[in-house]
Structure 1
């Protein structure tokens, strides 16, 4: 009979195994959130005991991949928080338009909806051809989906509404073609995108950017890990570059807060 739940001590054991054996560091993620996701997976895969669960994780490389995919959070949508995208369109990207080349990092991109949203705004501002959008995530499965640019057709109504509210200028359906129950976004939207694995916890800075977006990722990290990631972003952002966070995230109490000035109420900061 399956145990009812994985307890706090067992969660720590699993996370330490994952770090020591495979290099994935989730030890400073929000404890309540990651415990909930681990228990969901434990129940879903019907392991008879914690010992069996742990043994499978330590010895089956395919299961390690599944474990990482299941405990990372992948909830996103195109033009999520339309007022944020309106601020990007009106206040941020026009200023970056004066640069000869624009490098943008979408950190924790999940299945890519935010990267495609950025690409569409860049297109409409005639900035896409001189831009490069790096979209990264720790989860290889969602990156594969992002690279295909295919999303459920059922989501397009909501995405279209978000797009219009964000200041979109065209018919949203002009950016994709319909194939049965799927919407495939135009290949030219991917021409300036690079999808790649990157671990915000353990990997280093890999370029200098004028805009970094990391929205609704840091809420799953504890204070120590948030500080570490903020340091990475500070190192990766050029002077006068912009950092965009999620609605429940802030730079205010971080060690790098004095390096930034909040641009508006949409959680966008500029490095000064």
Structure 2
């Protein structure tokens, strides 16, 4: 079902007024595609969509889940995780305590991937990983530490490609059709909601991953979020972005050193 840019402006104003949530900085083309999909999935028109948002508060979480996109998998882009292990963990090992933030973590697959990577390098016991997302529903799923067993075949293949030398099955127990991550892997993880657009700095981190999030924002909002990530990094800490994302040239020149251009890994130097 067609959605006009005028419809989007109306929708953005409505959501901001009712929920205090500002979609104004989201890429208009991406937002248009996502809203059109919502209308198709729920078999509704734009008027009914607005009515649901006004009169059915629970619908907003469903709307948000569609708009903010929660596609994720464990060890997605294995070469990136291999680069993390080989190029970044030696630096992390020099810190007495390692705080990690996975921003926009969705259902937590990246967080558990990072936990396994740190465990493999003997760093997990002095690390703490924060996984945050704007959507409360996906955060609740992440907290459970349970993954569909069918997905673990793909995740295991990804992990194998990182050349880790062990099996992903060492980190979970299979129960019926689900994989449950071991308590030892989950003990240093905290999942919570956080809005990259409106919430502020809440800790100082040695490693921040914010992958495939900025691509859904316009240029102004990208700068705002990068400033937040910069302020949240400890000096000489690392920032990891997605394959299609990059830092503005002035940021790289003045505040970051490029660790891996291929995998968009940067180190804060000022």
Q: TM-score, normalised by structure 1?
A: 0.95
Q: What's the CA shift string for 1:11-64, capped at 9, x where partnerless?
A: 1111111112111111111111111111111122222x4222212212221111
Contact 1:134–1:195 (CA<8 Å) still a contact in 2? Answer: yes
Q: CA deviation at 1:154?
A: 1.4
1:107-122 alignment runs, 5 A limit: 107-122=103-118
Please name the residue that 2:137 is paired with: 141
Contact 1:227–1:255 (CA<8 Å) still a contact in 2? Answer: no
Q: CA deviation at 1:135?
A: 0.3
Q: What's the CA shift string for 1:66-124, capped at 9, x where partnerless?
A: 21122111111111111111111111112111111000000000010100000001111
Please name the residue that 1:89 is paired with: 85
Gaps of at least 5 residues in structure 1 are none
Please name the residue that 2:12 is paired with: 15
Please name the residue that 1:51 is paired with: 47
Contact 1:124–1:169 (CA<8 Å) still a contact in 2? Answer: no
RMSD after superposition: 1.3
Q: CA deviation at 1:255?
A: 4.6
Please name the residue that 1:31 is paired with: 28
* Residues matched between the structures, number: 268
Q: CA deviation at 1:204?
A: 0.3
Out of 229, 237, 244, the residue aligned to residue 240 of structure 2 is: 244
Please name the residue that 1:259 is paired with: 255
SS at match of 1:110: coil
Q: TM-score, normalised by structure 2?
A: 0.95
Contact 2:252–2:258 (CA<8 Å) still a contact in 1? Answer: no
Q: CA deviation at 1:218?
A: 0.7
Q: CA deviation at 1:150?
A: 1.1
Please name the residue that 2:191 is paired with: 195
1:118-267 alignment runs, 5 A limit: 118-253=114-249, 255=251, 257-264=253-260, 265-267=262-264
SS at match of 1:219: helix
- Aligned equivalents of 2:266, 2:86: Cα separation in 1: 15
Gaps of at least 5 residues in structure 2 are none
